[in-house]
A and B are shown apart, each in its own frame.
Chain A
Amino acid sequence: MTQSISVNGAQHPIPNDPRVTLLDFLRHDAGLTGTKKGCDHGQCGACTVIVNGIRINSCLTLAAMHDGDSVTTIEGIGTTDNPSALQRAFMEHDGFQCGYCTPGQICSATAMFEELANNWPSDASGQLEGKIEITGEEIRERMSGNLCRCGAYANIVAAIQAVATEKGS
């Protein structure tokens, strides 16, 4: 029986070589190069994708481990014709410079909103239970797995906060 992964709603067969990471599978086999390889060791977050609703570093897992899983990549979050609110906010707030970490930042922030909506606490949260307030510090803590060497952090946080405010209102 062929094993496959659903990527942005389309089925892709899992490659034969068991060494292929989910990241290389996305970039090479599925031809979706929006997901970036920055370190291949789970240190930079450029390869962040959303698997079954949860953000992960796609370089730290093998494609073969994801039979039947549903993966959302930057290509599934928005398109050039119809970018998501976060994608638009990143443009407006200049939340990037070279752009290489950007898809990872946006995938990460997209999934982070779900974590916040479900009141998952973080190191920056005042308490372990109850509603989490979306503060700048909360966003910074939760986004710290996504490195940006250009140093666009202040603008990335501004973009995320703008969308958080939009969602709240």
Chain B
Amino acid sequence: MSAHLKQDEPDTSNRLDNMRQGVLGKPLSRIDGLAKVTGTATYSAEYSPENCAEGVLVTATITRGVVTRIDKDSVLSMPGVISVIDDARLTTRAAQGTADEAPQQSPRTVCYWGQPIALVVAETFEQARDAAKHLKVIYRENEAAPVSPDLVEPKEHEDETVRQGDLARAMSDAAHSVDIAYTTKGHASAAMEPHAAVAEWDGKKLTVHASLQMLNFNITELADALDMDEDKLRLVSRFVGGGFGSKLGVSEETVAASLAAMELERPVRVVMSRQQVFQCVMRRSETTQRLRLAADKDGKLTGFGHQALVSNLPGETFAEPVLQSSHFLYAAESRELKLNVARIHQMTAGSVRAPGEAVGMPALEGAMDVLAEKIGIDPVELRLINIPEEDPEQGLPFSSHKLAECLKQGAEAFGWDSGHREPRVKREGEWWVGTGMASAARVHNVSEAKARVTLKPDGTCLVETDMTDIGTGTYTILAQIAGEMLGLEIDKVLVDLGDSQHPRGPGSGGSWGAASIGSAVYVGCKAIREELATRAGTSEAELELAEGRVVGGQTLTALLDGDEISEEGHYEPGDIKDDYTASGFGAFFAQVRVNHFTGETRIDRMLGAFGFGRVLNPKTARSQCLGGITWSIGVALTEALEFDPRDGHLVNCDLAEYHVPVHRDLPELEVVLVDERDPAASPIQAKGIGELGMCGGAAAIANAIYNACGARLFEYPMTPDRVLAAMPE
């Protein structure tokens, strides 16, 4: 049986608040935790079918041109080498998120330095790695290949363009205004588990264990790449060692392992090296941004301008959506937004955690701080007075809006001083100490999702979907939703994820996982409740279930009487998508210290207050926020992809040279979860939280650096050399 809900209207019934089990919204530990802490959770590369061969990708050492010859004989006589796979179906880029079709193929055409061109397969990893290094490849190189955005004429990404009122006029008439250029560097997802796939072909069906975020799209992408029917494929991703966008689309190792397994008729494992993950999966584009803010004497915004230049390879549709939250965050009558894209021959640009806001918000919120200083107004107050009543561009109502609460509750919890602000006031020895704040915003997305919920005769429940848990806590929150709806403790709920044989979920990405798949489970459970209510002689609305029984009545086992009830919950967002602007909101507060002599910034403490609808599990939700804040620190202080200006290759392609935050970079962090039910976000009133925590946090740090030492910087990351150069004498 199946149950379908297309949500056209807000759902204010808050049904989940009236259930009796009491497991939803509780800070429960993860149900997959024991497997993870004991090393028994099996990640993709760890499946070891009998007779598994090992493949290592060979990547291009030119920027643009053609592979004229691959000299297979150069390695075929090496010990253990089985084959060199150079099938034309090999993919040369990772698919973009939700692509639903194969990414670029034809490996003999080289479009960027580091692009995969072949796969060497051997009996052991050591043999394959050695042979891959020795494979002779002959290229015909094209001369001119622009590798830097300033070398090409950019094109306007017209979907993003907004022109309302007269911004130039607003700027010239303004009592206070700022016009600032910001730059941000490229970022890498750098998930801890390198991309990996183990493919097995039994002559009829191809089974691939791969590290992927969105099996519902990935299976179509893989089928398209292999030119095979989807029903001959099975993708499995039980545990995914982090994604952050890098595993949204099917990537090169999965297609290569699949082709090799079918050609050699034996299982093949392909694991990317850390350097390959950096160089041939996805980068977040660098950005150049211009912020124009015009305000009246009281600080009310009259003009709002945000434009950005980003880059990508020719042919890629993705453009870092820098302006995403700028469209609705602050009211201003005159508005001008524009996104330009430069086509260059660097590795593919794509989604890295919080595409858009991760870099757009730090620039916008930095500019807001400059404006607040010019006006002489508390920066918290400047945000509060510019919160729009409705979406300022589309005129749509907000589904729910908690920015003001986040700003107020955050300021109070942090102990924010709303009095007069002046830089270089507090010094402790070599260290200047200061505070800063910023708003957080991240658009809420929700998408179609299916999950099968089965109530077994023994009173246990099984939830099945191809949805993945990339560390976000999906296993646990789905058990909580099903447990709450069916009156079960979560140890009575088995959640089976990451198998393409299950009903298709939404995939993990864009922070839409929990609200989408949670709603599908909710819909399925509701249908089961209908059947249970009939059996219990009551209505679904009045049915109360807890501890495996009807409250004050029969046990589920007795009610089921040996039957099993199985329902496929199918959730689809309807008109709510078009009728509302939906977003998570928040506020960041930071206290930093900056060394007077070295320019080094250390963060003393940081707090984030976030409103993102119903909190399904405060323990795992808080962890998502902590993760986002941690990424904010990386964006603010250390993370920067560096490309060689001659050939466009990524220079700092490992974790020694690309600096993600480490333990000692993290201070005491505090998270405030602001109570909210968002009726137009999903029927479970929840929004996403995977990305909100990093959308603006870097600006709170930047603004605190200025408040501490007087260095006003317009470049992220704010490394010691830059801070020192900008610090007043």
**Which A residues lie at the B interface, using CB under 8 A?**
17, 19-20, 24, 27-28, 31-41, 43-44, 46, 73-75, 78-80, 83, 87-88, 90-92, 94, 96-103, 106, 124, 136-137, 139-141, 143-157
Contacts and interface: CB of A to CB of B under 8 A. Distances in A.
A140 B664 CA distance: 5
Contacts of B628: 151
A28 B46 CA distance: 9
A148 to B, nearest CB: 7
B274 A147 contact: no
B65 interface: no
A84 to B, nearest CB: 9
Main secondary structure of the interface of A (DSSP, over half): loop
Interface string B668-681: 11000000000000
A5 to B, nearest CB: 17
A80 B37 CA distance: 9
A97 B240 contact: no
A26 B629 CA distance: 35
Contact of B38 (A24, A27, A79, A139): A79
Contacts of A37: 45, 194, 271
B662 A144 contact: yes
A152 B241 contact: no
The 3 closest A-B pairs by CB, nearest first: A34-B39, A151-B630, A98-B471
A94 B623 contact: yes
B623 A87 contact: no
B37 A98 contact: no
B167 to A, nearest CB: 37
Given A27-B46, A97-B472, A98-B240, A38 B33 contact: no
B273 A40 contact: yes
B517 to A, nearest CB: 17
Interface stretch (B108-116, B178-186, B393-401, B652-660): B652-660
Given A33-B39, A33-B46, A157-B663, A91 B30 contact: yes
Nearest to B629: A151
A83 B626 contact: no
B241 A34 contact: no
Contacts, number: 183
Contacts of A140: 663-664, 666
B512 interface: no
A73 B39 contact: yes
A154 to B, nearest CB: 5
Interface string B615-631: 00001101110111111
B654 A17 contact: no
Given A75-B39, A150-B627, A99 B46 contact: no
Contacts of A143: 663
> Interface residue tally of chain B, by bracket?
35 or more
Contacts of A100: 43, 191-193, 241-242
Contacts of B42: 33
A39 B654 contact: yes
A106 B654 contact: no
B125 interface: yes
A156 B194 CA distance: 22
B626 A43 contact: no
B192 A34 contact: no
B274 A99 contact: no
B126 A17 contact: yes
Contacts of A94: 29-30, 33, 619-620, 622-623
B471 A83 contact: no
B36 interface: yes
B38 A41 contact: no
Interface in B1-40: 29-30, 32-40
Contact of B660 (A83, A141, A147, A154): A147
Given A41-B654, A152-B626, A87 B38 contact: yes
A151 B353 CA distance: 12
Contact of B654 (A43, A101, A148, A157): A43
B41 interface: yes
Contacts of A79: 38
B423 interface: no
A141 B664 contact: yes
Given A100-B242, A146-B663, A151-B630, 13 more contacts: A17-B127, A27-B46, A36-B43, A38-B192, A87-B37, A88-B37, A91-B30, A98-B191, A98-B192, A106-B37, A144-B662, A147-B662, A150-B623
Interface in B247-289: 271, 273-274
Contacts of A46: 192
Interface in B502-530: none
B215 to A, nearest CB: 16
Given A43-B655, A44-B655, A97-B623, A153 B39 contact: no
Given A75-B39, A98-B471, A140-B663, A36 B241 contact: yes
B661 A97 contact: no
B40 A80 contact: yes
